[in-house]
Amino acid sequence: MVQPRSVTFAVDDARQVSGLLQVPPDARVCYVLAHGAGARMSHPFMAEVADGLAERRIATLRYQFPYMEQGSKRPDPPKIAQATVRAAVLEASRRVPDLALVAGGKSFGGRMTSQAQAALPLPGVRGLVFLGFPLHPAGRPSDERADHLFEVTIPMLLLQGTRDALADTRLLETIIERLGSRATTRLFQDADHSFHVPRRTGRTDAEVRAEMLDALMSWLGVI
């Protein structure tokens, strides 16, 4: 297994964050991968995704948002988070200039990436990949958080669990239909926001994760 390499890069004059760059041999694509609101870039889910993608010859750059780097539990304001996304994309383009770029991430990280893309296209990024898009707070179905997706013109892939408390499936399917050919979704039966499946299903989290990564790899082949 290819081991990740530690990197650091500046967000602005006052902030610097760390990252983990994992580049397998013969990689052709790098996924700039942001963490969720409550877990660091080194969280087991993030590491397992990066390792699984490396096995599929997809490079990753995982990185921290400034609040997580500082040990805070309160996410950065959107302006700072989006600046961090933009800095991470630039770092990836500098570190692996020969690889095509896609960007996104888990929950909060994916949403901050799409907001950044909607505000001003991320240089060199060919598509966005969401590992559980947080459409609304738990128990409060709404589609307002998806409004900015209609400003995104590059392809998007939404990987979602059917038991995701932060993304009502019916609302999500309506949004995908409205987005048209720009958006592709893949639903994982019985998976929650963390892509965990109950034991009664007879499936394991690892099997679901492998299906997710295979779906991501297939999608990369057509964008």
- 3-class secondary structure per residue, 99-150: CEEEEEEECHHHHHHHHHHHHCCCCCEEEEEEECCCCCCCCCCCCHHHHHHH
Q: What is the structure's pLDDT at 92?
A: 98
Report the relative pairing of strands 100-106 and 58-63 from DSSP bridges: unpaired
Q: What is the structure's pLDDT at 115?
A: 98
Q: What is the structure's pLDDT at 68?
A: 98
pTM recorded for the entire structure: 0.96
Burial of 205 (0-12, 13-18, 19+ CB in 10 A): middle
User: Measured between alpha carbons, how far is 213 from 190 in angstroms, rounded to an integer?
Assistant: 17
pLDDT, tens only, 91-148: 999 999 999 999 999 999 999 999 999 999 999 999 999 999 999 999 898 999 999 9
Q: What is the structure's pLDDT at 184?
A: 96
Instruction: Name the residue type at position 28.
Output: R
Q: What is the structure's pLDDT at 217?
A: 95
Q: How many CB atoms lie within 10 A of CB 94?
A: 10
Helix axes 78-95, 108-119, angle to 10 degrees: 80
Tokens of 61: 């750059």
Q: What is the structure's pLDDT at 1?
A: 81
pLDDT, tens only, 153-177: 999 999 999 999 999 999 999 999 9
Q: What is the structure's pLDDT at 80?
A: 98
H helices within the chain, ranges in order? 44-55, 66-69, 78-95, 108-119, 169-179, 205-220
pLDDT, tens only, 9-62: 999 999 999 999 999 999 999 999 999 999 999 999 999 999 999 999 999 999
Which residue ranges form the domains of the chain, and what is each CATH number? Answer: 5-220 (3.40.50.1820)
Give the CA angle between residues 194, 199, 200 to the nearest 5°. Answer: 125
